[in-house]
Amino acid sequence: MTPFHFVRDYERLVDQLVRNYPIDEAMSMAVGGRFESIGAIERDVLNYLGLKDGMSLMDLGCGSGRLASALSKRYKLDYTGADIVQALLDYAKTKSDPAYAFLLHRDLSIPLPDGSQDFFTAFSVFTHLLHNESYIYLEEAKRILKPNGLAVFSFLEFAAPTHWATFTHTTTATRMRSCPHLNTFIERSAIAVWAEHLDFTVVEFIDPDKAPWGGIPLGQSIAVLRT
C-alpha cells in the first residue's frame, strides 16, 4: 500500500535534517523550532485548561518531544505520545520522564482504548493534514476521551493576519515544487461543524496572539473541545 503523504513527507524531512544539522538542532527544526520555549507554552496552555498530576494525555504527533519534555519537568502523567517517524520518538524518549510512552503509529486511528484519556492534544499536527484526516483523528479523540475529556489542537486560519505569511510561503514553495509537507488552514466555522457532528462541545477558541494562561501566546490558534 502507498504510504500516507504525511509519512512520506515527514520521513524525508527528518532524514534531510539529521544529515545536515547537529542532532539537537535537527530535532528542534523537525517540529518547527524553539524546542524549549514552544514546549513551555504548550504546557502552559494545558495547565490553563486544567491538566493535573495523575491525568492521562494522548499527544498525537508528539514529534521529538517538545511538549513531553516540558511536561516532564512539571507533571507526573499517564502520557502517551504517538508519531509517524521513529527517529523523532527515539529522541523524545531521551528528553522525557521514563514513564512516558511513545508509539510509532502510521494509521488514521489512535491506538488507545475507548474512554481512557483525560486529554487529547495535537499541537501543529492538523496544520499538516487534509481536513478529512483531521476529522478522522477527532472522531478517534472522541472515542478515547473520558466523559468531560478535552481535545486541544492548534490550527492556522485565514482570519489571523499573522498566519498569512505561512500561506504565502507555502504558495511560493508550491509553485517551486519545494513544499516539504502540507500546510493546511482550518476555519473556525469548519471546526464548529465538525464538533457538532462528533458531539463535542466547543469550549473556546484561543486567538494566536492571546495568552489567557498569562504568559506568551502560542502563535497558532487553539481549539478546545469537550466530550
Contact map string, positions 37 to 76, toward ligand SAM, x by CB under 6 A: -----x-----------------xxxx--xx---------
Which residues, 90 to 129, sit near ligand SAM by CB under 6 A?
123-125, 128
CB atoms within 10 A of CB 57: 24
Q: Using the rule CB under 6 A, is 208 a contact of ligand SAM?
A: no
Binding residue for ligand SAM (CB under 6 A) from 21, 32, 139, 160?
32
- CA dist 207 to 129, 218, 221, Å? 21, 9, 5
CB-CB contact of 215 with 44 (8 Å): yes
Question: In the bound complex, what is the minimum distance in angstroms from residue 136's beta carbon to ligand SAM?
Answer: 9
Q: Using the rule CB under 6 A, is 219 a contact of ligand SAM?
A: no
- Cell numbers for 132, please give them: 478529512
Which residue, among 120, 126, 151, 131, has the nearest Cα to 224 in the 3D structure? Answer: 151
- Across the beta sheet with 56-60, what order do the strands follow? 101-104, 78-83, 56-60, 117-122, 145-155, 221-226, 201-206
Question: In the bound complex, what is the minimum distance in angstroms from residue 115's beta carbon to ligand SAM?
Answer: 21
**CB of 63 or CB of 219, closer to ligand SAM:** 63
Question: In the bound complex, what is the minimum distance in angstroms from residue 83's beta carbon to ligand SAM?
Answer: 5
Helix (H, G, I), strand (E, B) or coil at 103: strand
Site residues (vs ligand SAM, CB under 6 A) = 6, 10, 31-32, 42, 60-63, 66-67, 82-85, 88, 123-125, 128
